[in-house]
Chain A
Amino acid sequence: MIIGLFNHWVVIILMMIGLYIVIAHGNLIKKLVGLTIFQTSVFIFYISIAKVDGGTAPILADGITQYSNPLPHVLILTAIVVGIATTALGLSLVVRIKETYKSIEEEEIQQQDNEEQLTKHKTEDSA
């Protein structure tokens, strides 16, 4: 059992490391790095379930009978594209956030927002 499932377990550990970075880190770029790792690990999971022992790459050739499953490969090709699209959009948001907030740390941005809210309410109350 250990040998049969070892692969999956390691992949799960990888996913969780990615997820941990996304949740625990306050730096916006680091979060995106974590997101990439999380997604890539899910890709690794899909690809490793497609593997057949003794199989080979699913490109037909003479003299080969056993191929790995092509369908997860197709799915992951699509998912990789989705991943890069998300990363690109996230990064462009980070650039704009840096320009307007002068910071890319979650805490500092949150703080600035709160302060702005407070001052606005104060002026309104006094008015």
Chain B
Amino acid sequence: MITHLPILQVITPLMAAPICLLLNRSQLVWMFSLLASGLAFLISILLLQQVMISGVISYELGGWQAPWGIEYRIDKLNAFLLLIISGISTVVLVAAQTSIEKEIPKDKYTYFYVLYLLSLTGMLGIVATGDAFNVFVFLEISSLSAYALIAMGQKRQALWASYQYLIMGTIGATFILIGIGLMYQMTGTLNMADLSQRLPEVAQTRTVFVSFVFVIVGVCLKLAMFPLHLWLPNAYAYAPSIVTAFFAATATKVAVYLLIRFTFSVFGLSFSFTTIPLQTLFMALGLIGIFIASATAIYQKNVKHIFAYSSIAQIGYMIVGFSLSTVTGLTATLLHMFNHALMKGAIFLALAAVIYRVGNVELNHFRGLGRQMPLTMAAIVIGGLSLIGVPLTVGFVSKWYLLTALVEQGWWPIAVLILLGSMLAVVYVWRIVEVAYFKAPLDENIKVKEAPVSFLIPIWTLVIANIYFGIDTRLSVQVAKGAAQSLFGVSP
């Protein structure tokens, strides 16, 4: 079975989804999806271990040789991403049953879990595959389930947000489809490894240039990179809180992964960064994104909105690291993907707990929560500190690597700008802390209880991971660095 791990990784949640539909008992379905997701997590750990020891694993589906059949190709980068996605999914699922009680009508529970598993499948499939068209198919699985999950939100704005996301997402996916088509037309293959072999021959043609642009724009739409981010805040703010926690921690990471995969592995480093001024463009957009999104976050009145905009800003950091196109820069991006998943997972789960107890996450309703829900609010504070990049939290590690990478290149002014951007994060996190700890509750008579244990366990798992990986950085840095080095073809 050990040789079949790559496919089992994707197949486990995939097959679990229709079985869930057959079970159709809410408690049972929850347990079962938790089991499937946990199994996927276990498999991803085994995979990462195997990749770290023996290098790239290739798995030929249907037993057909690579450019003819579909190939799964797991290297350090994939394995790392698979670990993040399945891990977060499992942790978030623990809280799911309690959280959806208040947010989703009872007869839709089963559908919720089915869609959740399908969405997980889609993300894992995108990351695991080594075939360009297969990426498109699994991208659509994850997006379609995402649209439906977001639309399950209580308010009517959820529907509108989901519709907007559907339009933007489909345009993005179709752009990727056009890009893949042009690539295929010039090379005659869809396999990523094969493409990277055959693309250099035709790299000078205008067609390949256009296909590159289309793939990048399509991925950036999915990524919610700065000028294309308009769908994200509402989609995150109005989705059911569990869904927000899951997507905020994983969905954009998958898009960043695609960006890295296409630029570094498929088109190749030299092509990607020479044919168009990708470096300056992404650096500029990333920085503008950090500032505008952080500034917008400061003026939001809904805490979910605040952190949704903060997500866009954090994507900016990843893009800046990516645009450096050095080993350290990419390491910083990969680390930040991992760290951001941990902190946003914790924060949004804590917000889910607040919704469970208080009913909404408008900033005024946070008054006095610091005393009423101490553990939950402490989690938000630690997550917030991590967002800012305070030492001893994971946020610090990735910021540190990013700054090192910038200084390596001698780009001092940008390093200063990044630090300034972090200051903006201080402002919006402080606003929440101020309201929660230093303002009297809205209504003294209403007693708000601490969140139930089923919330506290996953929240604090993530918070402790936040601190642990902030102090003991060996594991995460080793994997991220290894992945970055292998992308640059440097032997570690």
Determine direct contact between A and B, CB below 8 Å: yes
User: Would you list which residues of chain B between 78 and 108 have a CB under 8 Å from chain A?
Assistant: none
Q: Are A96 and B159 in touch, CB under 8 angstroms?
A: yes
The interface bits of chain B over 176-210 (1 if a CB of A lies within 8 angstroms of the residue's CB, else 0) are: 01100100110000100000000000000000000
Assuming A121-B301, A124-B362, is B144 touching A85 (CB within 8 A)? yes
* B162 adjacent to A93 (CB under 8 Å): yes
Q: Contacts of B148 on A, CB cut-off 8 Å?
A: 89
Chain A residue, CB-CB nearest to B150: A93
B364 near A124: Cβ-Cβ < 8 Å: yes
B450 close to A (CB within 8 Å): no
Q: Report the separation of the CA atoms of residues A49 and B177 in the bound assembly, to the nearest whole angstrom.
A: 14
Residues of B within 8 A of A71 (CB): 190
Within A18-65, which residues are at the interface with B (CB < 8 Å)?
19, 22, 28, 31, 35, 38-39, 42, 45-46, 49
Contacts of A19 in B (CB 8 A): 171
Instruction: Closest B residue to A78 by CB, please name it.
Output: B137
Using Cβ atoms and an 8 Å threshold, which residues of chain A touch B162? 93
Alpha-carbon separation in the docked complex, A28 to B162 (Å): 12
In-complex Cβ contact of A42 among B156, B157, B174 (8 A): B174
A24 vs chain B, min Cβ distance (A) = 12
In the complex the two chains form, is A49's CB within 8 Å of B174's CB?
A: no
A82 contacts the other chain (Cβ, under 8 Å)?
A: yes
Contact A35 B160 (CB under 8 A): no
Please, which residues of chain A bring their CB within 8 A of the CB of B173? Answer: 82
Q: How far apart sit A113 and B184, CA to CA, in the bound complex (Å)?
A: 44
Dominant SS at the A interface? helix
In angstroms, Cα B185 to Cα A15, docked, is 18
* Inter-chain contact A42/B137, CB cutoff 8 Å: no
Question: By the criterion CB–CB under 8 Å, are A96 and B181 in contact?
Answer: no
Number of chain A residues whose Cβ lies closer than 8 Å to a Cβ of chain B: 33
Which secondary structure dominates where chain B touches chain A? helix
Provide the residues of chain A in CB contact with B151, threshold 8 Å: 93, 96
Whether A100 lies near B147 (C-beta < 8 A) is: no
A90 to B190, CA, bound (A): 29
- B231 CB to nearest chain A CB (Å): 13
| B348 contacts partner chain A, Cβ-Cβ < 8 Å | no
Minimum CB distance partner of B171 in chain A? A22
Judged by a CB distance under 8 angstroms, whether B404 is at the interface is: no
Check: B166 CB closer than 8 A to any chain A CB: yes
Contact: B166 with A93, CB < 8 Å? Answer: yes
Of the candidates A39, A46, A109, A124, the one whose C-beta lies within 8 Å of that of B160 is: A109
Across the interface, which residues of A come within 8 angstroms of B364, CB to CB? 124, 127
State in angstroms the CA–CA spacing of A117 and B156 once bound together.
Answer: 13
Residues of A within 8 A of B171 (CB): 19, 22, 35, 38
Whole-angstrom distance between the alpha carbons of A94 and B159 in the complex? 8
Would you call A66 an interface residue if the criterion is a C-beta within 8 Å of the partner chain's C-beta atoms?
Answer: no
Nearest 7 CB-CB pairings of A with B: A100-B156, A93-B163, A82-B140, A96-B159, A97-B159, A49-B185, A90-B166
Task: Spell out A's residues near B (CB within 8 Å).
Answer: 15, 19, 22, 28, 31, 35, 38-39, 42, 45-46, 49, 71-72, 75, 78-79, 82, 85-86, 89-90, 93-94, 96-97, 100-101, 109, 113, 121, 124, 127
24 contacts between A and B (CB under 8 A): A15-B178, A19-B171, A35-B170, A35-B171, A38-B174, A39-B174, A42-B174, A45-B178, A78-B133, A82-B137, A82-B140, A86-B166, A86-B170, A90-B166, A93-B147, A93-B151, A93-B159, A93-B162, A94-B163, A96-B159, A97-B156, A97-B159, A101-B156, A124-B362
